[in-house]
Amino acid sequence: MQATELDTKTAPFAWLAARDAAIKSYAASTLYTEAQKIRAERMKLGLEMVYSVKSAFLTYRKKFVTIKLDQAQVRDRKTLALLEQDYTAQGNITKVITAQGITYRIARS
C-alpha cells in the first residue's frame, strides 16, 4: 500500500479543534449507510490489532471516512502487510502519514 506523507501543523487550541471536528463528524455521519459505518468500525478494529496505539479515532467526512491511529507503532508486521494488501485490492482506501499519526481514508462510494 502506498503511503502519503503530509506536513501539517498542530492546532494552537487542540481541545477546540477536537470539539469542532466531533461536531462536523457527527453531521457527516448521516451521509453514510449502516453497512458503510460497520465496515469502517471493523477496519478500525483490525488496525488496532496490528498497531500498538495510544488511541484510535473514527471520523466521518463528506467524501471519506478516516481512521486515525495516534502514536502508532507496528505490533504485527505480517498481518499488517496482509491487511494493506487487501485494502489496496479494494481500491478506495489510502494511507496518510502525518506528525499527528497514521490515517487510513476510506472513500465514500
- Is residue 101 within 8 Å of residue 68, measured between CB atoms? yes
Neighbours of 76 (CB within 10 A): 13
Where are the domains positioned within the chain?
35-40+83-109
pTM score, two decimals? Answer: 0.83
Q: Where are the beta strands (DSSP E) in the chain?
A: 3-5, 51-52, 55-60, 64-70, 73-74, 93-98, 101-107
pLDDT value at residue 45? 96
39-75 b/e (C-beta count within 10 Å ≥ 16 → b):
ebeebbebbbebbebeebbbbbbeebbbbbbeebeee
pLDDT tens per residue across all 109 residues of the chain: 767 676 666 667 777 888 888 999 999 999 999 999 999 999 999 999 999 999 999 999 999 999 999 999 999 999 999 999 999 999 899 999 988 889 999 999 7
pLDDT value at residue 11? 67
